[in-house]
Amino acid sequence: MPLVAPSDLLTFERLKQEGITVLTPDCARRQDIRELHIGLLNMMPDAALEATERQFFRLVGESNQIAQFYMHPFYLQAIKRGATARDYVANYYDTFEQLKVDGLDALIITGANVGQPDLALEPFWKPLIEVIDWAMEQVTSTLCSCLANHAVLQFRYGQKRRPLPRKRWGVYPHEVVKRHHPLVHDVNTLFDVPHSRFNQIDHEQFEAAGLHVLVESREAGVHLAVSEDQFRAVFFQGHPEYDTISLLKEYKREVRRYARRERDDYPPLPDYYFTPQIQAILDEHRDQVMAARGSRKPMPAFPEQLITPSLHNTWHDTAEAVINNWIGKVYQITHQNRKIPFMDGINPQDPLGLR
């Protein structure tokens, strides 16, 4: 938990400039151990609904803060779902209308699968705008993941994503480019992040929107950025929440689509994810699948059990550290009255005291 500065000792100011949380005595006296209520707007398709839910819940639950986390998943009715998924969200998810009444301390918005060239044509566009507009006024901080990131950049900042020449798919090295921001305090300055997308918001677009880029990759582009006030909105363009096997599952799904003739080309391997040994196994499997497809013979079994034990996770610890920093800041900024998150001496234009 944070340091308390009982004097004007310059060391405290230096630590604040490095991104370390330092409270005044008055602010410290207002702190207590309490519950935090965090919403999860889960827009992922049916097949990924529960996995995405687990991934984000896990990251929040692993954050090392003295608080009780109440997670509130909710959904948009505009997103079409099958019967099983409709029953699931009806039984276990909250409604946005109820959350507007109860209030949230923080909000996570996931990505989504889309079928339109312009996000504004998607059926969830207007309901999503309503959620984000509400969150920007009533929620201390909103974390926008992947497509949610692109949607916010488009409708709030006029920055449209651009299509990539090929899918950005794999685990890429990243660098912290603004080291004194609290979200990246005590985080490895070099670390990996998975990406899986066909579109991108470029560094120049974040800057044109007045946003602050904290983490990026020479190959994969911007991963982590924050809003003008440094905290109200947090943008993830990558997928640090991914499990070790997430990209393997995506690759397996695409191989099956090729086998069913739902795609003409055999899917490429995700970048920097598989070891040379695993690549050799998958290359052999590719040859078998292509031969079976050509002769219309039964498809060989995907060698998942052979591969899984050799996969490495090079991103989770850093993802956990960033979420830990995020939750810690939400904890410090929020007041017991969740509906008025910016209180007593905290500047809503600069809640982290970075200016």
Q: Which positions are catalytic?
A: 146, 239, 241
Torsional sign, CA 283, 289, 290, 292 = positive
The token pair at 314 is 């090079």
Length of the chain: 355
The H or E element spanning position 26 is: helix 25-29
The token pair at 294 is 């050509």
Q: Alpha-carbon dihedral of residues 141, 144, 145, 150, nearest 10 degrees?
A: -160
Q: 3-4 and 22-23 as β-strands: parallel, antiparallel, unpaired?
A: parallel
The residues near 229 (Cβ < 8 Å, ≥ 6 apart) are 348, 349, 350, 351
136-to-60, 193, 275, 343 alpha-carbon distances in Å: 20, 27, 42, 16
